[in-house]
Amino acid sequence: MYVLGINAYHGDAAAALIRDGKLIAAAEEERFNRFKHSAGFPAHAIKYCLEAAGIGPEELDHVGISRDPSAHLHKKILFAATRVASEGIFNQIKDRLGNAAKVRDLKDELARVFGVSKKLLRARFHNVEHHRAHLASCFYVSPFERAALLSIDGFGDFISTMWALGEGNAIEVLGQVEYPHSTGIVYTATTQFLGFPHYGDEGKVMGLAPYGQPRFINEFRDIIRTEENGHFRLNLNYFRHHAEGVEMTWDEGSPAIGRIFSDEYAHLFGPPRTPGEQLSDRERDIAASLQLRLEEVGFHVLNHLHEKTGLTDLGLAGGVAYNSVMNGKILLNTPFKRLFIQPAAGDSGTALGVCYQIYNGLLKHERAEVMTGAYTGPEFTNAEIENALLENKFERYSDEELTKRAAQDIAAGLVVGWFQGRMEFGPRALGNRSIVVDPRRAEMKDVLNDRIKKREPFRPFAPSILEERVGDYFEQTHPAPTMLMVYQIREERRQEIPAVTHVDGSGRLQTVSREVNDRYYQLISDFDALTGVPVVLNTSFNENEPIVCTPREAIECFRKTRMDVLYLGNYAVRRE
């Protein structure tokens, strides 16, 4: 049985395909059409998923989407309920978006993409509510038989937060926070206020936070207030989305969101920062206060969820689950003991959630997949790579030589492109589409920014570490295979790996095991054998664009930037 899941007409459009409950493929549309966070319909990603399975659209049994697909509505009125109209209009919109599903449109679109007649498609079509898709994505592929679940984001289908109990092949929703109250909206609004206007810029503010002091914490406790039973409310004076509406638009490419914060933000903090303007202590302190408040509210919800379920295993999803700083503190601030965060925790992951909500939740099949990595995207054979390399002078290595050579290059201070196996699903490069450098060299941050990444200098770079060595370097040891947890680096180790140690002594680590990524594990082991350090700096393989997908894109990025050497499969190309 084949089930196709789609996230469409929304940022981070994506597709996922499962066969008899086994994950066959999942990928974001941006990797194919090369628009960051691409919205719209994920035609390329769907085609890729079907190709990976070797099937045509007529062989699909079920197709689902993680919200209502009526694009003309979503394009313009994401937040467009009015305060005056409140309940009545709100319910109408909710109905149109949620229940009165335009399943027919999805079928039309799919037939159009494949250039086939609609009659050929025999699949049953489904709409899965946004947060139920998030919850399914972090439970049905988790290692847990029973778990507490939390989905937390901006908004999806007019819900911002939903918590639940997962057991076997069922998910029971226990509570939710509805429009217009949302932690994600507060984070996005404040990110805009701080002069970072792009979709997905929230991570920059998270990176800025440790440079500041949370001296505005009381202001943020007023902006977002906690209530009984895990609930919270916004002080709506600070926001526009509920009153005037905020547009979310996109043409072919990246989504853009209108201003969410109201003039009250300026009364509280002074004028908003203009993008590109010098950062001051005010911005750093606002970021620190926002981050602290997000954590307080997050733990408030999670502690309630633990009380309700009595469980210590937690599945986490939703855009706010990309806040790896908060995630890294969950086990310290709540009774939870184990944590599964689906690698595509944000909206692209709802495509995967849709598949499993249909297969397990709706059709009640036994669970058949535990997602240990994120390697669900396109891969290329050595022959295909060689073909892409023909215009270059290249060398070919055996498996054993390959990782040894690359480890030597890294230890020698070179900037190494590392392109192997299947592309990652979700925002993090996890050793298959990565740029890897020596974490012992403090200057590598500047080298990477200068030559390739051009990121704001305050943003940290992340370490990959051999899983069994985590305790030697970090104060916490729970595995973090998808790079979505930030832990404190042990004080005595910080000097040893300065390029991956953030200003507050933390690191957003990826723990690497042989079972999950054999070749990357071997690379880090070889680096360890040379240097005595089982850690490399891992940043995504891209310039200012989506992560590279194909060998040609990798070669182009290698050429455009001043990377020193590129390892593609078993081949290597060096800068002349």
Beta-strand (E) ranges in 8-132?
14-19, 22-28, 62-65, 124-127
State how far the Cα of 502 lies from the Cα of 497, in Å rounded to an integer. Answer: 10
State how far the Cα of 490 lies from the Cα of 468, in Å rounded to an integer. Answer: 15
At 242, list the tokens.
């509920």
Pick the stretch among 72-80, 293-301, 344-352, 397-405 that binds Fe ion (CB under 5 A).
344-352
CB of 347 to Fe ion, least distance (A): 4
State how far the Cα of 427 lies from the Cα of 291, in Å rounded to an integer. Answer: 20
Beta-ladder partners of 540: 434
Pick the stretch among 82-90, 222-230, 234-242, 339-347 that binds Fe ion (CB under 5 A).
339-347
Which parts of 135-164 interact with Fe ion (CB under 5 A)?
153, 156
Q: Residue 12 interacts with Fe ion (CB under 5 A)? A: no
CB of 319 to Fe ion, least distance (A): 5
State how far the Cα of 480 lies from the Cα of 469, in Å rounded to an integer. Answer: 12
CB of 327 to Fe ion, least distance (A): 16
CB of 343 to Fe ion, least distance (A): 15
Provide DSSP, 187-238.
HHHHHHHTT--STTTHHHHHHHGGGS--TTHHHHHHHEEE-STT-EEE-GGG
Given the complex with Fe ion, which of 8 and 60 has the nearer CB atom?
Answer: 8
CB of 229 to Fe ion, least distance (A): 22
Pick the stretch among 283-291, 341-349, 433-441, 502-510 that binds Fe ion (CB under 5 A).
341-349
Given the complex with Fe ion, which of 14 and 537 has the nearer CB atom?
Answer: 14
SS3 430: coil
CB atoms within 10 A of CB 84: 8
How big is the site for Fe ion, counted in residues (CB under 5 A)?
Answer: 3
CB of 137 to Fe ion, least distance (A): 10
Given the complex with Fe ion, which of 347 and 564 has the nearer CB atom?
Answer: 347
Q: What is the dihedral of CA 463, 334, 347, 182, to 10 degrees?
A: -130
CB of 37 to Fe ion, least distance (A): 13
Half-sphere exposure of 385 (CA within 13 A, CB side): 23
Distance separating the N- and C-terminal Cα atoms of the chain: 51
CB of 254 to Fe ion, least distance (A): 17
Given the complex with Fe ion, which of 127 and 517 has the nearer CB atom?
Answer: 127
Pick the stretch among 330-338, 346-354, 473-481, 483-491 that binds Fe ion (CB under 5 A).
346-354
State how far the Cα of 281 lies from the Cα of 295, in Å rounded to an integer. Answer: 21
State how far the Cα of 95 lies from the Cα of 114, in Å rounded to an integer. Answer: 30
Which parts of 37-56 interact with Fe ion (CB under 5 A)?
none
Given the complex with Fe ion, which of 319 and 460 has the nearer CB atom?
Answer: 319
Q: Residue 347 interacts with Fe ion (CB under 5 A)? A: yes
State how far the Cα of 186 lies from the Cα of 318, in Å rounded to an integer. Answer: 15
Given the complex with Fe ion, which of 354 and 388 has the nearer CB atom?
Answer: 354
CB atoms within 10 A of CB 444: 21
Given the complex with Fe ion, which of 52 and 345 has the nearer CB atom?
Answer: 345
Given the complex with Fe ion, which of 185 and 512 has the nearer CB atom?
Answer: 185
Given the complex with Fe ion, which of 183 and 539 has the nearer CB atom?
Answer: 183
Mask 241-280, x = binds Fe ion (CB under 5 A)? Answer: ----------------------------------------
> Rounded to the nearest 5 degrees, what angle is found at the Cα of 124, between the Cα atoms of 120 and 127?
130
Given the complex with Fe ion, which of 187 and 567 has the nearer CB atom?
Answer: 187
Provide DSSP, 97-149.
IIIS--HHHHHHHHHHHHT--GGG---EEEE--HHHHHHHHHHTTSS-SEEEE
CB of 132 to Fe ion, least distance (A): 11
CB of 81 to Fe ion, least distance (A): 18
Residue numbers at the binding site for Fe ion (CB under 5 A):
153, 156, 347
